[in-house]
Structure 1
């Protein structure tokens, strides 16, 4: 039988070697080559040490690293470091891999208080023990790239972070930067200001006659950028040296094209707000959710980014209450449409008759309408959505928006646009399109939510499982390409491992994930538990999920349909029997099924020992480690398990 997949399959680590002797001679043409040798008697100050630290990319240096950075011998470097230490500017520490490492005295108490080190040339910020205020300030202009590395919290300032900052002026942004960094970094501020300027070169406005105009800050930027990138599909004709008449319906494409060229477009069109619809939120937002809503209110658009369980849906209802207008919610499946409808009734003042669903099972257009992306993108249904003036369009699981199937739904125009995503990453690297088609990212770093107790950090363990029989092991050895991964993923030895883990946690509510339908059926028979897949009728899916929520059932076996198409109930235990070869986003979704305020959750990822699945599992979970989650690895010994 041919296996069916329930969905599509799917940093650089810098290695630094320490020189054991002096630096290589300068090469002709090198910007540091002055034609003169360094005088060993030249004054060496703490500023020189910081320059070397900047060049090496870390605040703790060996004498070899200083000699390389300053192009002096290692002996000269050691003498100068000793002199600074005698003056109290440096401290030294002996370690096992190098004779001595040196660091500024001001870093002596790093273990006791927050410290921030800025590397402006790399646009990186390393923070040790940041407090909540610092995190909140950094999140307004920088991206948390690594939350558990040896160098502490590593933030990177990317162009898109500056483009999406919620500040009205560069002076306001610079003030936030100085508060977060505790200092003024002129080089970094200069670069950020250049990106701020790029983000304000173009804007879309509404002409007094009702059509849309693309405006540029200068004739040069219009001629050298916009008129080089856009054609008759996007604009009718020039109106002036700095204005173009926009083709109706091409606004989203113009924003995407210019964004990719490095010039995000400010959208200042006078879009209709739709019919007024008073909405009261009947639940108190957490502080970070309120911040999300406030930032959305300032910009009029954005993408709420946070881990599963952080309350993005409730925050979206806070945005609905702010807009107070008719709302269209786009979701990947009819199951999510029903769950949205139920949640809106539960958490807002809206009544069921004000909420409609539009998908393969129901066709209702009401003040709040929840539709599937597929339906909203079809020509025969588009007029129903185009003819209504929506005050807000919400794109749930908006990481799908750049795909060709879902992109058409973004042509629907409204005054406010909001996306929701736990992990807006795509294996085709088109994630930047999410922010051009919907809005800039708005979120709180995962580690902060873990520390505050809003979301429980699950314990995640990769378990390397032996083959269940020689037949599959031999088949793997003779297979090629994707077939190797498929055989490893369906290793029958995983059945015993799932049984063992379930028996080791007898009181847990568990979700078991599989990627292959045939594998799911085999596990369903072996465990005597229902298998919830795309083949399961909608009414049956809902019954099984409701039983799990009501604690009438403590185990569910789920295919890829559970990754994003339905809102799975919270579990204490998640076992990923197969499926980590698909995407980083899938790993986030499955691990996230245990991320709720209650702690103690466990996630086990099974990978066949000695196969390509090992590498897949490690790589696809790396980004979760960078978000602050602890990841362990364990090699399974079947004999040891049987003796327990």
Structure 2
């Protein structure tokens, strides 16, 4: 069995973790003990500045990290070459460690990194070892490797290591306070689920930091890091300045003005990137008259060149609407709402089951104005309408739905993106002044069909998403059209018990028959993936898993209608797909919620918009070749506070589907979830 973990442990700072298997092994199963993402199984591109990190093997002896001491030009060297005892300290070793991207170094690596003579460096390393600052260990590939003595104590305390050139921060055993501070200006990129975390400080993290001044942000950074890091702070300061160069404001005569901090930034950036489609004419050296309706495009264009625009327009706030919550917000939900309240825009990012919908109602209560909620489908519209009535003081008559089944515009209206973007319906939404527009599942917003709905401007805009990522790399448009990300790292919610971490396992299944195997060999491109996805051998595996968890309420996900019908027929259960009539779909889901059904086979219609709070087993028979978002959604269908949930992903052994499943679930591994692998042997291989 293999375990996918976040990459923080791979830099050699963190101890390995050993996970128990999800189920007892059958005789026809075998396990392997290799970690996905382990550098020992992946080639490195050698780019120290762009790579995730120069990684050491999980749980390896420091000797494994010994490197070739040959000098390839010394371009990373420093200026101090005297090698004197007074000029070489533990801080110099840490500097070399940061440049090399690992904590265990040979004397040759230190000399090359700092541009100092090898013999002089070796003497100074001996001196620091005698003082107890460094440890030495003999290995076969070099006489000695060196590492800080404090690494010996990492299992007992928090440690923060900063890599300023890569804008990365690695933390071992962080305290809750440290994680809370880091979340204000950094993005959690990897987590191993227990001990280690790797944060990346991206420009957008600095741009949306919840601080009134850079001094406040600088104070937060020093609290999180425990000390000042001038190089990282200088870069963060430059990004802070970029985020305060442009603003949109409303002129006293009612039109919109784009304003810059200086004539230079206006001329060299805005007027180089914008044209007559966006602005009418200059008003002054630092002001342009904006064409009505082009505000979103201006924000997107300047964001893409690294200059986010602050929106200070006097937008309509709509009719007032008193909203009281019938539930208490959790601490992290209150933090989300407070962050949103500071700017009036943002995206709540959290795993399924973390209560993003309830937090959005907290935002509604804060705004106190009429609200438009946009959703991908009518199932979600109905769920939203029920939730608003259940969790707030609003009456059913104050909540309307606007889609193919109903057309009601009320103080709180839930509409589908498609309807809101149609010309014949737009006037109904444009004519009403909304105090808040909520974009649920906002990862869809950049698509051509949905983005028209973002033209509905409001003083307050809020997005919700478990995973605001897109395979077409247009996720930055989400932040420009809706707002910056606001969220809590998934592992923090797992640790606090608010959301139970499901156990995920990829099971590599043999072919069910030779006909499909031969068809796969002769197929090309996308055809190979579909044949592997529809492998009939998966039907027997689904049967086995359902029998192994006989008391579980289960969902079986498929990507293809023919496969869904075949599995449903084999199991004698209902197949829920986009072809299922809406009223029938509602009936099936209600029966599932009331425990009148314990099994459904579900197509892509279940990826979003189906709330199944009591599901505790998910089997993904096909569908992880599409996107990281899809993997998150399907795994998340079991991610609820109750705990004990299991997710099995079936991939045909020895095919491209293996690669797809492994790659997509690495995304969840980096969020702190444990993902295991198991190979299922065919009966004739026993």
Structure-2 residue corresponding to 1:26: 73
1:157 aligns with 2:201: yes
Q: Residues 111 and 95 (structure 1 numbering): CA distance in 2 closer, same or farther, change over 3 Å? A: farther
- Does the aligned pair in 1 maintain the 2:445–2:454 contact within 8 Å? yes
1:639 aligns with 2:683: yes
Structure-1 residue corresponding to 2:479: 435
1:421-460 paired onto structure 2 within 5 Å: 421-460=465-504
Once the two structures are TM-superposed, the CA of residue 59 in structure 1 deviates from its matched residue by 2.8
The one of 315, 338, 355 aligned to 2:359: 315
Q: Deviations over 1:145-199 (max 9, x none)?
A: 1111999211010100000111111011111111111111111111111100000
- Does the aligned pair in 2 maintain the 1:23–1:67 contact within 8 Å? no
Equivalents in 2 of 1:41, 1:307: separation in Å?
Answer: 52
1:541-580 paired onto structure 2 within 5 Å: 541-580=585-624
The one of 581, 588, 593 aligned to 1:537: 581
Structure-1 residue corresponding to 2:160: 116
Structure-2 residue corresponding to 1:260: 304
1:134 aligns with 2:178: yes
Structure-2 residue corresponding to 1:242: 286
Q: Residues 25 and 38 (structure 1 numbering): CA distance in 2 closer, same or farther, change over 3 Å? A: farther
Structure-2 residue corresponding to 1:8: none
Q: Deviations over 1:501-532 (max 9, x none)?
A: 00000011111100000000001100011000
Q: Deviations over 1:425-471 (max 9, x none)?
A: 00000001101000010000001001110000111000000000000
Q: Residues 382 and 559 (structure 1 numbering): CA distance in 2 closer, same or farther, change over 3 Å? A: same
Structure-1 residue corresponding to 2:460: 416
Equivalents in 1 of 2:332, 2:557: separation in Å?
Answer: 31
- Does the aligned pair in 1 maintain the 2:77–2:112 contact within 8 Å? no
Equivalents in 2 of 1:632, 1:31: separation in Å?
Answer: 39
Aligned pair count? 629
Q: Secondary structure at the match of 2:153?
A: coil
Structure-2 residue corresponding to 1:520: 564
- Does the aligned pair in 2 maintain the 1:90–1:105 contact within 8 Å? yes
Query: Which range is displaced more, 174-183 or 149-158?
Result: 149-158
Structure-2 residue corresponding to 1:480: 524
- Does the aligned pair in 1 maintain the 2:66–2:106 contact within 8 Å? no
Q: Secondary structure at the match of 1:121?
A: helix
Once the two structures are TM-superposed, the CA of residue 638 in structure 1 deviates from its matched residue by 3.4
Equivalents in 2 of 1:96, 1:446: separation in Å?
Answer: 41
- Does the aligned pair in 2 maintain the 1:545–1:569 contact within 8 Å? no
Query: Which range is displaced more, 181-190 or 140-149?
Result: 140-149
Equivalents in 1 of 2:600, 2:593: separation in Å?
Answer: 11
Equivalents in 2 of 1:541, 1:150: separation in Å?
Answer: 40
Equivalents in 1 of 2:684, 2:613: separation in Å?
Answer: 33
Q: Residues 544 and 149 (structure 1 numbering): CA distance in 2 closer, same or farther, change over 3 Å? A: closer
Query: Which range is displaced more, 575-584 or 92-101?
Result: 92-101
Q: Secondary structure at the match of 1:404?
A: coil
Equivalents in 1 of 2:182, 2:611: separation in Å?
Answer: 31
The one of 307, 321, 332 aligned to 1:288: 332
Equivalents in 2 of 1:529, 1:378: separation in Å?
Answer: 38
- Does the aligned pair in 2 maintain the 1:22–1:71 contact within 8 Å? no
The one of 169, 175, 190 aligned to 1:125: 169
Equivalents in 2 of 1:267, 1:296: separation in Å?
Answer: 14
Q: Residues 105 and 39 (structure 1 numbering): CA distance in 2 closer, same or farther, change over 3 Å? A: closer
Q: Secondary structure at the match of 1:108?
A: helix
Equivalents in 1 of 2:55, 2:466: separation in Å?
Answer: 33
Equivalents in 2 of 1:572, 1:632: separation in Å?
Answer: 18
- Does the aligned pair in 1 maintain the 2:502–2:638 contact within 8 Å? yes
Q: Secondary structure at the match of 1:371?
A: strand
Structure 2 length-normalised TM = 0.88
Structure-2 residue corresponding to 1:219: 263
Q: Secondary structure at the match of 2:165?
A: coil
Residue segments in structure 2 that go unaligned for 5+ positions in a row: 1-49, 57-64
Q: Secondary structure at the match of 2:615?
A: coil
- Does the aligned pair in 2 maintain the 1:19–1:64 contact within 8 Å? no
Once the two structures are TM-superposed, the CA of residue 132 in structure 1 deviates from its matched residue by 1.1
Equivalents in 1 of 2:118, 2:188: separation in Å?
Answer: 36
- Does the aligned pair in 2 maintain the 1:21–1:73 contact within 8 Å? no
Equivalents in 2 of 1:31, 1:449: separation in Å?
Answer: 41
The one of 275, 284, 288 aligned to 2:319: 275
Equivalents in 1 of 2:346, 2:165: separation in Å?
Answer: 29
Once the two structures are TM-superposed, the CA of residue 42 in structure 1 deviates from its matched residue by 7.9
Residue segments in structure 1 that go unaligned for 5+ positions in a row: 1-10
1:171-182 paired onto structure 2 within 5 Å: 171-182=215-226
Query: Which range is displaced more, 327-336 or 94-103?
Result: 94-103
Query: Which range is displaced more, 339-348 or 69-78?
Result: 69-78
Q: Residues 444 and 96 (structure 1 numbering): CA distance in 2 closer, same or farther, change over 3 Å? A: farther
- Does the aligned pair in 1 maintain the 2:77–2:115 contact within 8 Å? no
Structure-2 residue corresponding to 1:604: 648
Equivalents in 2 of 1:370, 1:300: separation in Å?
Answer: 20
Q: Deviations over 1:20-46 (max 9, x none)?
A: 55432636xx47386x97658785321
Structure 1 length-normalised TM = 0.94
- Does the aligned pair in 2 maintain the 1:148–1:628 contact within 8 Å? yes
Structure-2 residue corresponding to 1:510: 554
1:105 aligns with 2:152: no
Please tell me the root mean square deviation across aligned C-alpha atoms, in Å.
2.2
Structure-1 residue corresponding to 2:250: 206
Structure-2 residue corresponding to 1:338: 382
Equivalents in 1 of 2:607, 2:135: separation in Å?
Answer: 51
Q: Residues 320 and 472 (structure 1 numbering): CA distance in 2 closer, same or farther, change over 3 Å? A: same
Once the two structures are TM-superposed, the CA of residue 48 in structure 1 deviates from its matched residue by 1.7
